[in-house]
Amino acid sequence: MDGTATSFEARPAFRSPTHILVPKLTHSRDRWKAKAAQRRQQLKLAKLTIRDLQRSRETWRAQCATHAEQLRRQAGQIEQLQRQRDAALAAAADAPKK
């Protein structure tokens, strides 16, 4: 390979005739392309599933935060009402009876 070889001479020499090689190579290429297309489709479906799951997770996370805030507020209201009840009971106990 001193640079004087033509592309025909640099080509590997196959022993099988081209009318046998071409269909085999074509079939191999077609299988490769089909496999690649299938993997692209699987990747696309996986990405869509991941996107949907992330959206769902964010929705549930937001709902959980909202419910936790409501629970915290209601717990505060319960404590305030219990203090008011205790104060009213204490005031009623301290009041002179007739």
CA pair distance 36, 4, nearest whole angstrom: 38
Single pTM value for the model = 0.56
Confidence of residue 3 (pLDDT cuts 50, 70, 90): low
- For the segment 67-82, what is each residue's pLDDT rounded down to a tens digit? 999 999 999 999 999 9
- Strand segments (E) across the chain: none
Q: What are the extents of the domains in the chain?
A: 16-92
Provide mean pLDDT across the span 20-32: 94
Confidence of residue 6 (pLDDT cuts 50, 70, 90): low
What percentage of the chain reaches a pLDDT higher than 70? 85
